[in-house]
Amino acid sequence: MKFTLSWLKTHLDTEATLERIVATLSQIGLEVEGVEDRGATLGAFRIAHVVEAKPHPNADRLRVCRVDAGDGRILNVVCGAPNARSGIKGVLALPGAFIPGTGITLKAGRIRGEASEAMLLSAREMGLGDDHEGIIELPDNAPVGESYAAWAGLDDPVIEIAVTPNRGDALAVRGIARDLAAAGLGTLRPWRAGPVPASYQSPIRWETETPACPWVLGRHFRGLRNGPSPEWLRRRLESIGLRPISALVDVTNFFTFDLGRPLHVFDAAKLEGGVLAMRQGRGEAFLGLHGKEVTAGEADTVIADASGALALAGIVGGESTGCSEGTTEAFLEVALFDPVAIAETGRRLGIQTEARYRFERGIDPGLMREATEAATRMILDLCGGEASEVVEAGREPDMQRTATLRFSRLASFGGHDVPPDEAVAILDRLGFRCLARDAERITVAIPSWRNDCLGEPDPQAEYDLIEEVLRIKGLDAIPAVPMPPLTDDSGRPRVVPPVAVTPAMGRAILARRVLAGRGLVEAVTFSFMARDVAALFGGGDAARCLANPIASDLDALRPSIIPNLALAAARNAARGIAEAVLFEIGPVFSGGEPGEQTLAAAGLRSGPSPRHWAQPSRGPDALDAKADALAVLSALGVNLDAVQVTADAPAWFHPGRSGTLRFGPKQVLGTFGELHPRVLAALDLEGPVAAFELNLLAVPQPKRRRRGNPALPAFQPLTRDFAFVVAEDVPAEAVLRAAKGADRTLIESVSLFDVYRGEAIGARRKSLAIAVTIQPRERTLTDAEIEAVAQKVIGAVAAATGAVLRG
C-alpha cells in the first residue's frame, strides 16, 4: 500500500515529522517497507531561464548558454543538449549538487576553454526517467529561481507499508490516518459525504442473482464531459505509480486508495437492455481492461447486460463498456462482494488487481452509501452533467457485532499491563463504541470497517481487541520476557538443554553430507507439482490435489522428489547445461491426511559425463543411482549385507534397469534405476537419466557399537576365486548372498569381478566370477580346512541358484 505524506494529511491533522510517522507506523503493526523522498534528492535543483545560447567556439556539438538562476546571477553553462536554445526554461544544478542519474557531485570548471559554472539537466540525470536526448523543457509560466521539486510536486514523500490479510481497513489512506490518530500523532479529520440531489430517474437498474454479491448500489450520469483529470488528481495517482487515464476512471482509482472503496464506472451508452445483473458466468468470454481475454465459468460472478457478461465482478472491468473521452453518460457501480468468492475467482483465473486485493480482504460495508455520494460529487465537479437517484439491489448486511475485553487479559495474555482507562481510550479512538463497562471489562460495538477482520466467534474477538490495544500502545513497548527455565522429567532444573536434533533430522543432515561429497548439488523445490506430472509418478489423485493452490501448475502434493529434480534437469538442459547431478531432501506424500507424509532423500544424474583424456564420456546408468543410494544407507549405519534388491521398482523406472532396496522382505528402504523413456518424453528430457529415492524414516536405527578400536586379525586373509554358470535371469546378488552365507565365521567378504556370456556356456546362460575372502580367526587354516570352506561355498550357491561350477 502506497500513499504520499500530503495525501495522508488530507485525513490526518498532524505536525509530526516524516521520521516520526514512519517510526510510528511500524510500532503499531503497519510495517514500513520503504520511503521514497524525491524532494530530498532533487531539493538542490532550481528552475532557470536560458537567456542566450550560442555555439561553442571550439566544439561543434556544444553550446555556451547564459542562464538566469533567479537569484540575480547570470551563469555561464556549457551544454551539449540539442534542444539547448535561447528562451527556454529548464532545471539548473549549481556546483556542489549531487546528480543522481550519474552519481557525481557537480563542480565548476572549463570545457574546451569555456567556463561552465552550472549544469542544465536531462530527465535521466535527475533520475526521473531514461530520456537523455535533451535537457528538460518547462512551460513559460514556470517560476525562475523556485525549487523544481516543489513546483513539480516531487517534494511529497511516498510511503509504502506492508498490510497483513486481516487489515483490509489499512488499504485506505483514511484507515492509516485513523490508526496514527489513535496512536497520538494527530487528529483524524472529520469526513462525511452529504447527499447529492437526484435530477432524474435512472434508466438502468440492478439485479443480483448470486450470494457472492449481497448488496449493490448504482447511479446514472448524463451530460458529462470526460477529459483529463485536474493536476492535483493526476499527481496524486502518479505519485503511487498509477497512470492517469481520464476523469471518470481516475475518480474510481482515487477512492480505491483514499477510502479503500473500489468502484467501477460503465459507459452507459454501451449498455443494452436497461438492466445490469450480478450473476454467475455461463462460459462467456470478453476482453478485460487488463488487455487479456477472460472466460467466466459457473463459479465466477460477472456483471452482465442483455448482451451477456461485461465484467468480472469485483476484479476487472470489460473493454467493451469502458469509458473514453467520448463518454457523455455513465453508470457507477458500488458493490459489496463475498471475500472468499472474489479470492477463489481471482486465483482460478490468475488475475490480480487493486480491486480484488481489497475485496478479498474485506471492505467497509458501512461506507457504501457515503462512497456513492462522494464519488458522485467528484464526478459532477470534474465532468459536469447531472446525476440520477441511487438504485440498488439486495440488502444491507447486518453489521451489529460486539466483543468483550477483560482488562486483566492485557497483561496475562498480551504481556503488557495497560491501564483500563488508557485501553478504553485507544479503543474509542479506533472507532470501537463502548456499550457497557465495569471495573473488570468493557463491551464494545465493532466498527463496520473492522467487521470482516476481527475474529469469530466472540471469544476469539477478545484476542483481537487485545491486539488492537497493544499495537496502538506500541508493539515495541511489550517487555521482553525470558523463556521459562528448562527442567528434566523429575522437575529439576536442567543445566544442559535437550538435544535439538531429532533422529530424523540427524539422518537428513548425514544424507546431505554424503550426497554432496559424491558430487551432487543440492536443490530446493516446492512440495507441490502439476497434477499431470504427479500422475506420472503414482500421484495426482483427488486426495493429494490442492483446493487452493499457490499456482495453477502447483496443484498437487508431490508423490516423489524425483519429478521435481527431473524438471530442474530439463530446464538446465534447455539452457545448454546438459549434465545435471542433483539431490534434494524433503517431504513426499502418500496421501492427503496427517501421517501420510514421509521424509525422503532423492538424487538424479542426467547428461553425459565431462569429456576426459583418460576415459570416454558416458551417460548415467542404474548402477550409478544404486551406488548413491547405498552410500547414503551405509553412512546411516545400515548393514548392506542385509539389504536386498528386488526387480519390482515402480512403473516410472525402466524395467530391467531398476530395483527396489529392501531390508527384509517387507521393509522397503527405497528405489533406484533409469527413468522410463515414456516419463522422459513427457518431461521433455533426453535420457538416459538415473535416479534414486530413499525413505529416511524407514531406515532402521543402527545398533550401538562398543567403544574402542576393533582388534586387527592376527592371521593373513586369503582369497579364492569361483566361476559359476547360472541361468540368465539369476541375479548376481543371489550368488553373492549365498556365498557369503556359506560360512559366516570365516568368510569376510564376497565380490563379483567378471561376467561372461558366450557359446561356450550355452544360450540364456552366463558365467559369474566371484572372489571370496577367507579370514582365519584363531589359527592358520590347513589346506583341508580351506577346501572345506570352498565346498561349502559351491554347495550353498548351487542350492540357492541352481548354479554349477564352471570347468
- Residue pLDDT, tens place only, 136-162: 899 888 899 998 888 887 778 899 999
Burial class of residue 510 in the structure, from the number of CB atoms within 10 Å of its CB (0-12 exposed, 13-18 middle, 19+ buried): middle
Domain 205-394, classified CATH 3.50.40.10, yes or no = yes
pLDDT (mean) for 263-268: 95
Residues whose CB is less than 8 angstroms from the CB of residue 293 and which lie 6 or more positions away in sequence, other chains included: 285, 286, 287
pLDDT of residue 588: 95
The top-level CATH class assigned to 40-151 is: mainly beta
Q: In the sheet where 402-406 sits, what is the strand order?
A: 402-406, 441-445, 433-437
Quick: pLDDT tens for 326-361: 999 999 999 999 999 999 999 889 999 999 999 998
pLDDT of residue 636: 92
pLDDT (mean) for 232-258: 91
93/552: higher pLDDT: 93
Instruction: Copy the grid coordinates of residue 553.
Output: 501448475
Burial class of residue 31 in the structure, from the number of CB atoms within 10 Å of its CB (0-12 exposed, 13-18 middle, 19+ buried): middle
Please list the residues that pair with 428 across neighbouring strands: none
Question: Of all residues in the chain, what percent carry a pLDDT higher than 90?
Answer: 64
pLDDT (mean) for 108-124: 90
Residues whose CB is less than 8 angstroms from the CB of residue 326 and which lie 6 or more positions away in sequence, other chains included: 226
pLDDT of residue 416: 86
Domain 402-477, classified CATH 3.30.56.10, yes or no = yes
Span between the terminal Cα atoms of the chain, in Å: 85
Listed in sequence order, the DSSP H helices in 351-451 are: 354-359, 368-383, 409-412, 420-429
- Binding residues for Mg(2+) are 452, 464, 467-468
503-698 and 718-805: identical CATH topology: no
Residue 258 and residue 174 in contact, taking contact as beta carbons nearer than 8 Å: yes
The top-level CATH class assigned to 2-37+157-188 is: alpha beta
Look at residue 462 and tell me whether its pLDDT is greater than 70.
yes
Quick: pLDDT tens for 579-634: 899 999 999 999 988 889 999 999 999 998 888 888 888 889 999 999 999 999 99
d(CA 81, CA 92): 13
Extended beta strands in 702-774, E state: 718-727, 747-756, 765-774
Domain ranges of the chain: 2-37+157-188, 40-151, 205-394, 402-477, 503-698, 718-805
DSSP helix/strand/coil, 59: coil
When pLDDT is cut at 50, 70 and 90, the band that residue 52 belongs to is very high
Residues whose CB is less than 8 angstroms from the CB of residue 131 and which lie 6 or more positions away in sequence, other chains included: 122, 123, 124
DSSP string covering 173-234: HHHHHHHHHHTTSSEEPP---PPPPP-B--S-EEEE--TT-SEEEEEEEES----PPPHHHH
d(CA 368, CA 670): 60
**3-class secondary structure per residue, 479-521:** CCCCCCCCECCCCCECCCCCCCCCHHHHHHHHHHHHHHHCCCE
pLDDT of residue 422: 93
What's the mean per-residue pLDDT of the chain?
90
pLDDT (mean) for 18-29: 92
Quick: pLDDT tens for 364-399: 999 999 999 999 999 999 999 999 999 999 998 888
Q: Containing H/E element for 799? A: helix 783-801
pLDDT of residue 458: 54
The pTM of this model reads 0.63
481/356: higher pLDDT: 356
Please list the residues that pair with 644 across neighbouring strands: 662
When pLDDT is cut at 50, 70 and 90, the band that residue 453 belongs to is low
Quick: pLDDT tens for 498-550: 667 778 888 899 999 999 999 999 999 999 999 999 999 999 999 999 988 88
- Binding residues are 452, 464, 467-468
Instruction: Copy the grid coordinates of residue 474.
Output: 506500541
Any idea which architecture 503-698 has in CATH?
A: 2-Layer Sandwich (3.30)
563/412: higher pLDDT: 563
Look at residue 454 and tell me whether its pLDDT is greater than 70.
no
pLDDT of residue 185: 92
pLDDT of residue 457: 46
When pLDDT is cut at 50, 70 and 90, the band that residue 495 belongs to is low
DSSP string covering 78-129: EE--TT--TT-EEEEE-TT-EETTTTEE---EEETTEEE-SEE--TTTTTS-
pLDDT of residue 723: 93
Domain 718-805, classified CATH 3.40.50.2300, yes or no = no
Quick: pLDDT tens for 563-574: 999 999 999 999
DSSP string covering 12-33: EE----HHHHHHHHHHTT--EE
pLDDT (mean) for 34-55: 87
Residue 391 and residue 275 in contact, taking contact as beta carbons nearer than 8 Å: no
Q: Containing H/E element for 534? A: helix 531-536
Please work out, in degrees rounded to the nearest 5, the angle formed at the alpha carbon of residue 111 by the alpha carbons of 110 and 116: 55
Instruction: Copy the grid coordinates of residue 227.
Output: 477529459
pLDDT of residue 498: 66
When pLDDT is cut at 50, 70 and 90, the band that residue 483 belongs to is confident
**Spatial CA neighbour of 539 closest among 564, 566, 557:** 557
Look at residue 460 and tell me whether its pLDDT is greater than 80.
no
Question: Of all residues in the chain, what percent carry a pLDDT higher than 70?
Answer: 97
